[in-house]
Amino acid sequence: MRLVTVAGPPSSGKTSLIVRTLLALRDDGLRVGVVKFDCLSTQDAAVFERHEIPALVGISSGFCPDHYFISNIEDCAAWGERLGLDLLVTESAGLCNRCAPHIRGFLAVCVLDALSGVNTPRKVGPMLKTADLVVITKGDIVSQAEREVFAFRVRQVNPRARILFVNGITGQGAWEAARIWRSASENGVLEGGRLRFSVPTAVCSYCLGETRIGSDHQHGTVRKIPIPS
């Protein structure tokens, strides 16, 4: 089974891209499924169900979403194997911009929204910089010049990635995305594998449910802003 990690800021068009691409793959005879990771709630399971794509939903709620992702990915992959899938996609938002779900040896996709402006590639962290494929959505409503600048700025922070413009509404570009997903490695091993980028280290009292403010309540790893005196 191929495993593809898809990450991108909220509302960048991840779900539309995934649906369009998976439908193209299914037309080719592949069995496909999705694991949707979210923080609070998600209505996307209904979207996948409507297209009869098996979907598993994980809501991290009070748990750090990226840690939640990495501690569940093996079980999710096992679920996909049990269903006999040829390709499983994980969808997650890069919430704090410091994390990325991308795993060594597995196809890593980052989704960015052209409408969010040409400065976006400079603000997004490792989920963009460590991706193999960068999909730019909503390119049909911004000028050619802005698309070219956007793509250039993606190349500036990730020159290795393939860049693809996909229209999540009409599906234009999804066929090309499907081709790339299809050629993803089938032999990646999760157990003992490694993330492409470490998730932030922070074990402090707030991680454990503390809500009070003040240095008396701050234990564990605490970092302060260097403020000139």
Partner 1 sequence: MTTALSPAPFDAARFAEFLRLHHLPARADAGSPEAYWAALTWEQREDTGLDPETLAARYAEFLTLDRPPGREMALHSLDVLRGRDKSGAPERYDLRFAPGDVVCLVGPTGAGKSRLLADIECLAQRDTPTGRQVLINGQPPGDAERFSGESGLVAQISQNMNFVIDLPVGEFLHMHAESRALTDPAPIVDQVLRAAVAMAGEPFDADTQVTQLSGGQSRALMIADAAFLSPKPVVLIDEIENAGVDRRAALDLFVRKGKIVLLSTHDPLLALSGSRRLVIRHGAVQDVITPGPEEQAMVTRLVEIDARLADLRSRLRNGERISAFPA
Binding residues for partner 1 (CB under 8 A): 115, 117-118, 122, 125-126, 129, 140-146, 148-149, 151-157, 159-163, 165, 170, 172-173, 175-176, 179-180, 197-198, 201
Smallest distance, Å, CB 43 to partner 1? 27
Smallest distance, Å, CB 99 to partner 1? 10
Nearer to partner 1, 131 or 161 (CB): 161
Nearer to partner 1, 67 or 162 (CB): 162
CA angle 214, 220, 225 (to 5 degrees): 60
Residue 179 tokens, joined: 């081709």
CA distances 26 to 20, 30, 34, 37, 54, Å, are 10, 5, 13, 22, 12
Smallest distance, Å, CB 62 to partner 1? 25
Smallest distance, Å, CB 222 to partner 1? 12
CB 27 within 8 A of CB 174: no
The DSSP secondary-structure symbol of 37 reads E
CB 203 within 8 A of CB 220: yes
Smallest distance, Å, CB 55 to partner 1? 26
Nearer to partner 1, 71 or 156 (CB): 156
Q: Residue 4 forms beta bridges with which residues?
A: 89, 107
Nearer to partner 1, 76 or 177 (CB): 177
Residue 171 tokens, joined: 């599906």
Residue 157 tokens, joined: 């922070």
Nearer to partner 1, 44 or 132 (CB): 132
